[in-house]
Amino acid sequence: MTDQHHTNPPFEGPEKLLEIWFAPSPAHVPGADAAPDGKHGLRKVSRQVWDEVLAIVKCQVLSVTYGEEIDAYLLSESSLFVSPHRLILKTCGTTVNLLGLPRILEVAREHADLPSVYRLFYSRKAFMFPERQHGPHRDWRDEVNFLDDIFSNGAGYTVGKVNGDHWLLYITSPGDDSPNASLANSMTEAADSTVVRDSENPDETFTVPDYTIEILMTHLAAEAREPFFTPDTPDLSPSENALSLSSSIGISELFPAHLTTLDAYSFTPCGYSSNALIKWGSQAGEGAESDEGGEGYYTIHVTPEEGWSYASFECNVPLPTTPTNKAGSIPDLKTLIRRVVNIFRPGRLTLTLFISSEDNSTAEEEDGLSAIEAAQRAFKAALTNPAAVQNGVNGADGVALKPGVYKRTDKINYEFGGYDLAFATFELRS
């Protein structure tokens, strides 16, 4: 989302999202036992090397936040998140995300002792202006072919209406026919979840589901777009301006401030990006309900121009599906959706929840509600009912829908190898 892109409209807001797992968890990465500070695996790679990778992709680093478990790079076109075992590269505009993949695989092998890919995910919303893309990104079939040339165990999917809002996904899975099977075969028991070691009792482990929620919004209301046009404030840096904006419109309050480390940037003449690192569960300190926990992220990117307005929200913190009365707690899924939608007031939006399927299987065996069906109910409850949530829950006055009431236009649940997807689209009722 570099400044010059906004002088040559239209700008492509929807991002290309590449997520590469080189191991099921940080504990499976070489050198984990000798790196108590978490600086092993991909986190050992220098900033200079990542700069070289991003130059291939056609973007650059604006700032970096170093967390306890994740390094969050704010980019000129979206974000890069680096964990010991996993890399997430999200880029917008006309970046060539996939062309950086071969170099990323080399970096993992040469700098992090990670010679094989455990799993790979590539996804994106349908582009607004596909004719402006470069390389394999002009057409979904070309992207799939590019990935198939590297991986023999991948599959591409189109989720949603081909002639309407849809979401595209390419996913690989561990298997004997994969060139990366040597690593996968030794880790099959960890295929559906991340293994986390207790820092005080390292011999004890528990599993944490892999969880990603995306809210992809278009046709933003004029009053929601206006704050993202950067005023001429020479006394404030782009980061200072963005942090002030984040506070004034409610982004800073999406998660409790004491659990959040926020980095943000305002572009000239318009546009906004932010990364946040979030402590959750046991890592959030006093009052945690279980031993599970860690550091997650959310990221927001905004293209506010009329005609192609777009905002995205992505988060990998596992959210409860029901509210909690504890002050300063992580919001439930319904509350978070409403908070995000109230900031951007989209005319249309797509929601996806992508989660490792262990939770779904357990729920179905116990005749319970699967995680993705619970998410679908939360999606609908958040957007089709204008009433505020119960007073005193995650805010003294509850969270009412400011834009109005939405109608659901599509709902799909999908089962992949080891993962399940909840997909839904909504549009504002006239």
Residue positions annotated with a catalytic role: 78, 92, 273, 301
Q: What is the DSSP letter of 163?
A: T
For 119, residues 6+ apart whose C-beta sits below 8 A from its C-beta are: 20, 21, 171, 172, 173, 174
Dihedral through CA 20, CA 331, CA 300, CA 223, nearest 10? 160
Q: What token pair was written down for 15? A: 């991002």
Residue 80's identity, in one-letter code, is L
Q: How far is CA 136 from CA 53, 124, 145, in A?
A: 17, 13, 8
> Radius of gyration (Cα) for the chain, nearest Å?
20
Q: How far, in Å, CA of 376 to CA of 373, rounded?
A: 5
Q: What is the rounded distance in angstroms from the CA atom of residue 1 to the CA atom of residue 429?
A: 31
Beta bridge partner(s), residue 397: none
Cα gap 357→201, rounded to integer Å: 27
223 marked as part of a ligand binding site: no
Note whether 378 and 333 are within 8 A (CB): yes
Task: Confirm whether residue 11 is marked as ligand binding.
Answer: yes
Residue 423 assigned ligand-binding role: no
Length of the chain, in residues = 430
How far apart are the C-alpha atoms of 65 and 298, rounded to whole Å?
13
CA distance 95 to 78: 10
Residue 412 in tokens:
């799909």
CA 268 to CA 249: how far, in whole Å? 19
Any known ligand binding at 267? yes
Q: Which residues are annotated as a binding site?
A: 11, 77, 267, 305
Q: Which residues are annotated as a binding site for substrate?
A: 11, 77, 267, 305
